[in-house]
Amino acid sequence: MNVVQIYEDAMTSPETSGRRHRKRSQTLDHLAGTAARLFEAHGFEAVTMERIAAEADVAKGTLYNHFPTKEAVLAHWIHMELAKDLGHLAGVIGPQTRFADGITHILAASADWCERHRDYLPPYLRFRFLEIGTAPNVESDSARDMTSAFRWLILNSQQAGEMRTDLSAEHLALMFHHLYLSALLRWLDIPGLKLGKEFASVVQLFVEGAASAPVKISKPRK
């Protein structure tokens, strides 16, 4: 099993498997893909939910049943793009790939995509932060988050003795994802920064902090 399979498994559960789930997923992808084409042609702000429904040839109520806001449609499309990028990396991220090696490829692909779609990131990030504290929805596209890929790479490194195990892979993956988001926010906020360098900084910070050998912190002198 590789990182792509792990990522896909995170999007499926016994409760949501089967024909009905596949049909719903196809509908979600169709709506998000249609919206993305409109965003590319007219800009995110100019496109309305009514325009998306009309272009996708569905009733407005149907669109709102699947996506409560335009930002939710955008988030689903971005997560579709993430899954596609991870699919392209299947040849270089194998079953034994550890965090430091695998994350380099994932973040390089992410930086390339973000630089080409910078205008979409502020509404996407606002939507993601508004999701914090809400009840999880098994049919939402939040399951396509990069955290599943992070967790898998961290687990490999833990099993190899390279990362601490007093914190679970799930916990460490969530912590790294917060660092990843902080790099994106800093890059968006400060003109002239290179996203690749911002990602490299958080990787170094995380890897050194998550190393298996505990780091002794000197007490401040009185």
Residue 64 domain flag? no
Helix (H, G, I), strand (E, B) or coil at 11: coil
Answer with the residue of higher pLDDT: 18 or 11: 18
pLDDT over 70 for what percent of the chain?
Answer: 82
Residue 216 domain flag? no
Q: Which residues pair with 211 in a beta bridge?
A: 163
The answer to whether the pTM exceeds 0.85 is: no
* Average pLDDT score over the chain: 85
Q: In this predicted model, what pLDDT tens digit does every residue of 61-97 receive, in sequence order?
A: 999 999 999 999 999 999 999 888 878 887 788 888 8
Res 214: pLDDT? 58
Q: What tokens appear for 82 in the block?
A: 């993430």
Confidence band (pLDDT; 50, 70, 90) for 8?
A: low
Q: What are phi and psi of 14, to 5 degrees?
A: -55, -35
Highest mean pLDDT, choosing among 29-43, 116-130, 147-161: 29-43
Residue 161 domain flag? yes
Q: What are phi and psi of 154, to 5 degrees?
A: -65, -40
Residue 140 has pLDDT above 60, yes or no: no
Q: In this predicted model, what pLDDT tens digit does every residue of 99-110 receive, in sequence order?
A: 988 999 999 999
Residue 157 domain flag? yes
Which CATH number goes with the domain that contains 84? 1.10.357.10
Side-chain-side CA neighbours of residue 154 (13 Å): 27
Its domain, for residue 190, covers 3-12+70-209
Res 7: pLDDT? 52
What is the signed CA dihedral for 39, 106, 170, 136, rounded to 10 degrees? 10
Residue 183 domain flag? yes
Q: Which of 81, 143, 134, 151 is nearest to 112 (CA)?
A: 81
Residue 87 domain flag? yes
Domain total of the chain:
1
